[in-house]
Homo-oligomer: A and B are copies of this chain.
Amino acid sequence: MKITFRGDYALKAVLDLALHYGDELVTIHDMAQRIDAPVKFLEQILLDLKKGGFIESRRGKVGGFLLSKPPYNVTVGDVVRFIDGSIEPIACVKDKYVSCKDVYKCVFRKIWQDVYEATSNVIDNVTFGQLAIKAGAAEHALEYSI
């Protein structure tokens, strides 16, 4: 699995919306400032996330973005897979284990499968609800540390 800047921004964007879940809408401009992303690049990513059903938007003067689903129903794995594509270390894990004529391929397949499963096990078991709590706690800690 390789996380690109695009994926990184997408994750931060969803976390930002999770932190504002239930509040007012979040504008691209405000979000870009908080997560330190180029506005026009973030635009594209938010549009993608919208197509993926992760977020919704309202246009016009008081427009902005919001999460489509409660933060506890979205995992890091959902976002990563959608934005950055397959998390397999090499494109062969899902191949069927048929005859396996190529001994050299065959031998490594189990390794890639193990890596894939170990990775999934991490990213599919963290929701943005959990992350929002951590981030909220961290923000809180910062307020008092100044």
**Taking beta carbons and an 8 Å cutoff, which residues of A are in contact with B?**
1-3, 8, 11-12, 15-16, 34-36, 76, 89-90, 100-104, 106-108, 111-112, 114-115, 118-119, 121-123, 126, 131, 134-135, 138-139, 142
Contacts and interface: CB of A to CB of B under 8 A. Distances in A.
State the copy count for this chain.
Answer: 2
A114 B122 CA distance: 7
Most buried by B among A2, A15, A89, A101: A89
Contact of A126 (B34, B111, B118, B142): B111
A1 B3 contact: no
Most buried by B among A11, A16, A108, A114: A108
A121 to B, nearest CB: 7
Contact of A90 (B8, B118, B135): B8
A107 B131 contact: yes
Contacts of A106: 135, 138
A119 to B, nearest CB: 5
8 contacts: A2-B2, A15-B104, A36-B104, A103-B135, A107-B135, A108-B131, A111-B123, A118-B121
Given A112-B3, A118-B122, A123-B111, A34 B90 contact: no
A91 to B, nearest CB: 9
